[in-house]
Structure 1
Amino acid sequence: MENTNKQIDLVNDAIEINNDRIKGYEKAIEIAKDANLNELVVLFNGYIDQSRQFLAELKPLVNQTSEEPEEGTKFSGKIFRIWMDIKSAISPSISNALLESCEKGEDEFKETYKNILSDSLNEYPSLVDLLQDQLSQQLEAHQKIKQLRDLQ
């Protein structure tokens, strides 16, 4: 039973960081729309869709144990979204501020997944496969955000 609980906790950590990622990009879209940065709105919507797909793959792993998947976000994610608002308001370049903030969010996602993978490696091979696939896709998104930020 303890083994199952640990796996549920690990999956819920992945769910929670995806919830944070969605909320972060929703906040970024709100700011981008106000600044008429439509190309970023399209990009950010794509990453929201990506995390929703990740959630669709993760939640059944919790549901099959009769537990409930995590629905919330991290407290640090909430603070980060407030900081995104402030930073974009005072920055000379809203798009640069948004991309820097989004890159930090992607860094947090990557770090969380790497920690989960480290904790899962020997015990949950099917979870590791799923998380490595999701992390690979997320790293492409991270690289795109970084490239756009570097162009600013």
Structure 2
Amino acid sequence: MNNNQKAVDVLQELNQFVNDRIEGYKHAAKLTKDPAHQSYYNDLVNQSTKFSNEINSTISSLGGSTETGTTAKGKIYRGWMDVKNTVTGSDEEAVIESNIYGEEWAQKAYNDALDHKGELPPNVVQMVEKQKNASMATCERLRQMKHAAD
């Protein structure tokens, strides 16, 4: 497998997780009752959409097919969030905790992509690292929101 194909494969898989992130924050924006949280989640939808577009543009430049799907695990998790929020009454802390879990899952996806650092073009590594750092900052802010909600 040539390096371009490896980069395409890694980015297609990563983009499924980024697409899960989009769907997860859309879902959270609908569930939250806090207008500030809703605004933040919508900002994260926009950020994630930008990330997905950036990844798909890179995939295309490497000769691959863009990725618009999500993971099966993400679909199951969003369904579980619905059930959990029905039981808890869309409790703000539960919504935030679900987002933290999702963001930690995104971190794993970015780390998995970076496990192939030696096989990826430098511009791809730089893009993935930049997105991972943004995800880490999001995770930290969500933890602060959780502590404020306690």
Q: CA deviation at 1:2?
A: 3.1
In structure 2, the partner of 1:13 is 13
Does the 8 Å CA contact 2:17/2:109 hold for their aligned counterparts?
A: yes
Identity %: 27
TM-aligned CA distance change 1:127 to 1:47, over 3 Å: same
Q: CA deviation at 1:24?
A: 0.6
> Residues 51-93 of structure 1, C-alpha deviation per residue, up to 9 Å, x if partnerless?
1111222111111244321110000000110111111121266
**Helix, strand or coil at the partner of 1:71:** coil
Q: Which amino acid aligns with 2:50?
A: Q
In structure 1, the partner of 2:86 is 89
Is the aligned partner of 1:123 residue 2:119? yes
In structure 1, the partner of 2:29 is 29
Give the aligned length. Answer: 148
Is the aligned partner of 1:142 residue 2:143? no
TM-score, normalization: structure 2? 0.92
**Helix, strand or coil at the partner of 2:21:** helix
Which consecutive unaligned segments of at least 5 residues does structure 2 have?
A: none
Is the aligned partner of 1:43 residue 2:40? yes
TM-aligned CA distance change 1:140 to 1:117, over 3 Å: same
TM-score, normalization: structure 1? 0.90
Which consecutive unaligned segments of at least 5 residues does structure 1 have?
A: none
> Aligned-residue CA RMSD in angstroms?
1.5
**Helix, strand or coil at the partner of 1:68:** coil
What is the rounded CA distance, in whole Å, between the counterparts of 1:114 and 1:66 in structure 2?
24
